[in-house]
Amino acid sequence: MTARSHTAHTLARCAFVLFAAFFVSTTPTLAAPLADAGEAIYQRGIAGSGEPVEAMHDGAVRMRGAEAACVNCHRRSGLGAREGNNLIPPITGEYLTHARTRDPNAGDAGDASDIPFIDGMRTARDPYTDATLARAIRDGVDPNGRQLGYLMPQFALNDADMAALIAYLKRLDHARAPGVADTTLHFATIITPDADPVKRRGMLAVLEQYFADKNATPLGATPALRSSRKMMFMVNRRWELHVWELHGPPSTWQAQLVEDMARQPVFAILSGLGGSNWAPVHDFCEAQRVPCLFPNVEVPVTSPGDFYSLYFSKGVLLEAELIAQRIVDEAHDPPGTPHHTATRVRQIYRKGDSGEAAAGALAAALKGKPFEVANVALAPGESVAHALRGVAAGEVLVLWLRPNDIEALRGSPPPPRVFVSGLMGGLDHAPLPERWRNVASLAYPVDLPDGRRVRVDYAFGWFAIRRIPVVDERVQVDTWLACGLLAETLSHLVDAFVRDYLVERVDDMLEHRVLTGFYPRLSLATGQHYASKGGYIVRFAQPDSSRVVADGPWTVPQSASPSPTAAPIAKLDTHLPLADSKAR
């Protein structure tokens, strides 16, 4: 493929955005659609027959299946996106069937004050009917007979598929979201019974102060609201925080959360704190379709089709991938090097703690490799020294332990090769005995201290001014960062309080975030739920020092990389112009 044809192909993927500004009708004229055919076309590019949807761009570039799906540019919500100066307009029924605004000088949004403001909304035009919409999709012609922009592909949809797609777009209309009142936005944070009480105190101190600061800020202080058109739509709502404390066994948590939501609906879950099991909370958020933004958990959860839960990091599961990759790499070292002969991996963790899931992830990552993996689960009261008995010289030892257990290593001699969970052990402050520091490496899924200093110092300054005690640096900085991302994203939502749209705009905002706390970079792409995807393997610079140095480059494990076959979703090249109808 030539550079030019590759560029055209890339442009074509987002071309569906162009006709979408003009369609959805008020008068049904086509055959009744199948129940889910419209969703299949929109989400996956699959026609009612089960065959891939086909489209042609500029008479030369063929689009097929997932790459022709509407969701690639218009997102799950149907409310479009913004990337740089490029605006992808909303394509839900309420925007596309809206009567033409009467003021020709009012801009694209006109005087459409009866619908939420969306960047790129176009109401200074005639609404589409089913018939003119079908012509636009198939032939690239607008209702007035004008040719749509050159990026507009022509889609080969039969009448039944066309009707199904139109019906689906009408169903995308959004009522006011739960937790949104005329003067208040309600949010919750969730704390599981096994959460660390020190971390709980630190997180709540940050959340409560941030909400107090936000409610004390007058409207107009946010730079994003300087636009007079946005100001017209904005209502300065208070933020109200609800703390949902769970109790009892995990099997009861979802029922408790359903009761909490019924008692006081919330727009989103912000931050939060879990112990070794966050799965019931994650599942609740997915089932209730409520955004869960960056909880403080060591074992996050994702499964196919998840959308509403976003995490800063994969936690100890990422650490397991980093360690597994390093073990495999060291096995390929030249003969005679210290770790070349290692063929056995011994993992030690406390039963029921986060290390149990991490050990399972590492064992899975080493499956099919020439290593025997032995897991040792410590029961309550069982000493680490007991688990270390019989460790052979050719073994790699992996410790998924808390500081108390790490300190207890002092009386035991270290084996030649040791890996330690940085998150569970305390990162730089892991209390490894001096003898162990000579041989141990830490999994380190955050930026190095020198690299993150400026980014975290801003948060520490905020804490100091407000006299918030710093009891857990990472949890409190992550909580502060989550609050800032929410505030920034809401300023761009203006009054379009749609849960799906909130998640989508958080995705968009992350890549442009300068203050990223403990992480060198944050970004989310198609199907991703972890904003920071890599980490280091580090070692202590000196046996008697807490300073760590990287033992290799920042690494993104292969399993954390975006799939090369994944369909792109609303990640536009900021240099690409968006064509529209030649005359509006």
Which residues have C-beta within 8 Å of that of residue 85, sequence separation ≥ 6? 574
pLDDT given at position 321: 97
Average pLDDT for 198-227: 79
**CA dist., res. 452 & res. 515, Å (int):** 9
Lowest mean pLDDT among 177-186, 326-335, 372-381: 326-335
pLDDT for 307 equals: 94
Residue 32 pLDDT: 44
46-63: average pLDDT: 85
Does 40 share its domain with 158?
Answer: yes
Q: Pick from 110, 137, 171: which residue ends a domain?
A: 171
CA dist., res. 107 & res. 94, Å (int): 18
pLDDT category of residue 84 using cuts at 50, 70 and 90: low
- Taking the C-alpha atoms of residue 466 and residue 185, their distance in angstroms, rounded to an integer, is 24
Distance in angstroms (rounded) separating the CA atoms of residues 384 and 470: 30
pLDDT of residue 205: 98
Q: Which residue has the higher pLDDT, 14 or 45?
A: 45
103 or 17, higher pLDDT: 103
Three-state secondary-structure class, residue 238: strand
CATH code: domain of residue 415: 3.40.50.2300
Residue-level pLDDT at 2? 40
Mean pLDDT, rounded, for 403-417: 93
Identify the H or E element spanning 155: strand 154-155
- The confidence band for 578, taking pLDDT boundaries of 50, 70 and 90, is very low
pLDDT on residue 149: 62
Give me the pLDDT at residue 495, please.
Answer: 86
pLDDT at 343 (0 to 100): 84
Q: Would you say residue 536 lies in a domain?
A: no
Which one is predicted more confidently, 90 or 103?
Answer: 90
Tens digits of per-residue pLDDT, 539-575?
Answer: 999 888 889 999 999 999 986 544 333 333 333 222 2
pLDDT for 338:
55
* pLDDT at 339 > cutoff 70: no
Q: What strands, in cross-sheet order, belong to the sheet with 154-155?
A: 61-64, 54-57, 154-155
Tokens of 90: 């909303």
Claim to verify: residue 425 and residue 475 sit in the same structural domain = no
Does 195 lie in the same domain as 145?
Answer: no
Determine the Cα–Cα distance for residues 408 and 425; give it in Å rounded to an integer. Answer: 12
Residues 361 and 492 grouped into a single domain: no
pLDDT in tens, 189-204: 999 999 999 999 999 9
Last residue of a domain, one of 444, 459, 478: 444
Q: Is the pLDDT of residue 97 over 90?
A: no
**3-class DSSP state of 309:** strand
- Same domain for 456 and 307: yes
Helices (H), 106-236: 130-139, 159-171, 197-216, 228-233
Q: Is the pLDDT of residue 33 over 70?
A: no
- Whether 91 and 151 map to the same domain: the answer is yes
Residue 582 lies inside a defined structural domain of this protein: no
Q: Could you identify the residue written with the tokens 């958020």? A: 285
Number of Cβ within 10 Å of residue 525's Cβ equals: 16
Name, in order, each residue with C-beta under 8 angstroms of 220's C-beta and a sequence gap of 6 or more. 231
Where is mean pLDDT largest: 235-244, 529-538, 541-550?
A: 529-538
Sign of CA dihedral 270, 569, 40, 99: positive
Burial class (CB in 10 A: 0-12, 13-18, 19+), 564: exposed
Q: Average the pLDDT over 478-507 and give the result.
A: 93
Residue 59's pLDDT is 73
Q: How many Å from the N-terminal Cα to the C-terminal Cα in the chain?
A: 35
Domain count along the chain? 3
308 and 321 together in one domain: no
Answer yes or no: do 256 and 341 share one domain.
no
**Statement to judge: residues 49 and 160 lie in one domain:** yes
What pLDDT was estimated at residue 562?
43
* Single-letter residue type at 117: F
How far is Cα 210 from Cα 412, in angstroms, rounded to an integer? 46
583 burial class (0-12, 13-18, 19+ CB within 10 angstroms)?
exposed
| Non-local CB neighbours of 383 within 8 Å, separated by 6+ positions | 408
Is residue 365 one of the residues assigned to a domain?
yes
Is 392 inside any structural domain?
Answer: yes
Give the pLDDT score at 36: 85
pLDDT at 337: 56
Residue range 274-287: mean pLDDT, rounded: 97
Q: Which of 66-80, 217-231, 252-266, 273-287 has the lowest mean pLDDT?
A: 217-231
Is 568 a domain residue?
no
Q: Give the pLDDT band (50/70/90) at residue 115.
A: confident
Any domain includes 583: no
Does residue 18 register a pLDDT over 60? no
Confirm whether 308 is domain-assigned: yes
Separation of alpha carbons 234 and 219, rounded Å: 9
Identify the pLDDT of residue 227.
Answer: 45
Q: Is the pLDDT of residue 316 over 90?
A: yes
Q: Which long-range contacts (CB under 8 A, 24 or more apart) does 304-307 make?
A: 306/282, 306/529, 307/76, 307/500, 307/503
User: Is the per-residue pLDDT at 535 higher than 90?
Assistant: yes
Same domain? 458 vs 489: yes
* DSSP-assigned beta bridge partners for residue 357: none
Are the beta carbons of 541 and 548 closer than 8 angstroms? yes
- Whether residue 408 contacts residue 432, with contact meaning beta carbons closer than 8 Å, is answered with no
Q: Write out the residue range of the structural domain in which residue 326 sits.
A: 316-444
77 and 199, same structural domain?
Answer: no
Average pLDDT, the chain: 83
Given a cut of 80, whether residue 206 has pLDDT beyond it is yes
558 belongs to a structural domain: no
Q: Is 198 found in the same domain as 70?
A: no
Is the pLDDT at 251 greater than 70? The verdict is: yes
